[in-house]
Chains A and B, each alone.
Chain A
Amino acid sequence: MVNANNKRVVFIEGLRKRYGKGEAAVDALIHVDMQITPGEVVGLVGPSGSGKSTLLKCLGAVIEPTAGRITLGDEVIYDNNWKLSNLRALRRDKIGFIFQMPYLIQFLNVVDNVALPSMLAGRTNKEARKQALALLEALDVAHRANAMPSQLSGGEQQRVSIARALINRPPVILADEPTAPLDSERALVVIRILNQMAHQYKTAIIIVTHDEKIIPTFKRIYSIRDGKTHEMTGEGA
């Protein structure tokens, strides 16, 4: 369990998200509480349509929640309203995204795909590529640095997208079913890498999954059902 004295990097209280209005309204999140410390990897599990992706989108400042409070580090970013004007910069600097499909930019080679967020944050191409290469090295795909995404295998692509999520050293990485397209062996490799990265860079990682083989690796799991979160201790503890 989280030690209350530990510094929290993510702190969510009473988050609600309702899609649409009136009769067509869908209450995707009814009451979500969550707290994560730096370097921690937590699982987010729940049946399809339970609101896992919605939670990541709210936390990633991609969609606007309906009510509640989100604190990232020391900063309250949402308190019934966005507390920041530049959500784009927030996403760029504070959040890393890893998707079910790697969604690499097809017309950029591997190293530039990884370097792009760093370039967008204002670093020179040279610096950004250097960082990118170091990450690719750490993820064991440096030898594909100059390949185009379409030339990579699914596992390689996912590692490249992990490198892209890490490059700006965000305090939080949101991974939505990152292992779904991979077989269980490769899926476990990806999870091991994410754990390693979380440890190495003190990044908090939330991994959405319903992969039976992965769930036992988490120390802490949030289960989401009918829009409400329940915290559980995982087998990995």
Chain B
Amino acid sequence: MINLAVRDILYAWGKFIFTGLGLGLLIGVTFTMAGVYRGKVNDAEALLKNSGADLWLVQKNTLGPFAEPSKVHDHLYREIFAIPGVAQAVNVTYVTMQVRHRKKDIRTMVVGVDPGVYAELGQPQYLIAGRQITRNHYEAIADLATGFKLGEHIKIRRNYYTIVGLSRRMVATGGDPMIFIPLKDAQDVQFLKDNTAIIKQRRRTSENPVFNRPGVPGLLDAVITLQQTNHFVNAILVQTKPNYAANEVAKSIRRWKQLQVYTNTQMKKILLGKIIAASAKQISMFLVILALVSAAIIAFIIYTLTLGKIREIAVLKLIGAKNLSIIWMILQQALALGIIGFMIGKIAATLWAPIFPKHIMLLTSDSAWGFITIMMICVLASIIAIRAALKVDPAEAI
């Protein structure tokens, strides 16, 4: 027996290819959406891994430092060392801000890290070029995604920084690439407002007779210095000793200090929770819409093609074709359309993923699920056409 579906597809191949192309691009967009989501999750995992931390210490009752603002005194970290199981502890700050580069502003997350001594904690662990930050001032590691190059100078607030290292896939959950600078500079950056704000505050302070007393020289300067110094950080990263369980160390810290302690696993949950809140809903909405749109496209084209063959179907029934063969013919065409769409979608997503600004991860498992879903949509979409075909009376052929 010849395959009627294949023969009809070959006969009307133009319709199939063009419908498949449209469907495929739609499917490609969905794969990309899913890929962006997977990419974000992957970035979050990379971020945690690259920080080198086992525990994250943040302000009590917050989900900091990424999901919520967190403020911790910068002297606390020294006391953490006293806790058994703590190998290292360092301060870190995070602030999202514009960085000026070649007359262009780029939104980044500026991370303040302790240079030198604890280079394995807080600073990116894997650099694709250059070195880690060793000086206390004006050095920076930029993520590749910023587009900055080694040796370039960038302006953050009032100061210029030299790029000494380049990292990869260090991006905040919002997608902003990270720039690492020395902690002291970062604390200033976080605290300081722009020049005019500083000048204004200075003027207000000096105009205040309480601070500016002719009889007490040096008071005004001391007050201004105090106003400009920031004694807070956003989190303390802790590395545990090899033979200690991170959970146990976390327990001791919680008992001892007024800090919120998250293990890497908990931190991952918080990060993913934030990502999921932002994009999972969007993606699932998109998936639902896409499912409906592609079902409508497939249903419409299969129905149209079937209506165009009503006479042929009547003749087929008259000369003894089984209803099942006719159902199978329509079903095969719907599935073929789905397969064409899937292949075009997969190829399109694979081709355009690298040129997307975001990190896109195309997982085989996502493709497999996508394929199964498309096939099910095809089956559902062919129901209307099948019903029309079953209603055809062979008597209509005579």
Binding site for B on A (CB under 8 A): 53, 56-57, 60, 62-63, 88-89, 91-93, 97, 99, 103, 105-108, 112, 116-117, 119-121, 125, 148, 164, 176
Contacts and interface: CB of A to CB of B under 8 A. Distances in A.
B19 to A, nearest CB: 17
Contacts of A176: 398
Nearest to B316: A105
Nearest to A100: B398
Contact of B11 (A107, A116, A121): A107
A148 B8 CA distance: 12
Contacts of B10: 107
Q: Chain B contact residues: over half helix, strand or loop, or mixed?
A: helix
Contacts of B2: 108, 112, 116, 119, 125
Nearest to B319: A117
Given A88-B320, A103-B315, A121-B320, 20 more contacts: A53-B398, A57-B398, A88-B317, A91-B320, A92-B320, A93-B320, A97-B318, A97-B398, A99-B397, A99-B398, A105-B312, A106-B309, A106-B312, A107-B4, A107-B12, A112-B2, A116-B319, A117-B319, A120-B319, A120-B320
Contacts, number: 69
A18 to B, nearest CB: 15
Interface of B: 1-2, 4, 7-8, 10-12, 309, 311-312, 314-322, 393-395, 397-398
Contact of A105 (B1, B315, B398): B315
A57 B395 contact: yes
25 contacts: A60-B398, A62-B395, A63-B395, A88-B320, A88-B322, A89-B320, A91-B318, A97-B319, A97-B398, A99-B397, A103-B311, A103-B312, A103-B397, A106-B11, A106-B309, A107-B4, A107-B10, A107-B312, A108-B2, A117-B320, A119-B2, A120-B321, A148-B11, A164-B319, A176-B398
Contacts of B398: 53, 56-57, 60, 62, 97, 99, 176
- Pairs A-B, 6 closest by C-beta atoms: A92-B320, A107-B11, A107-B8, A62-B395, A117-B319, A119-B1
A48 B292 CA distance: 49
Contacts of B395: 57, 62-63
Contacts of B8: 107
Nearest to B322: A88
A63 B7 CA distance: 30
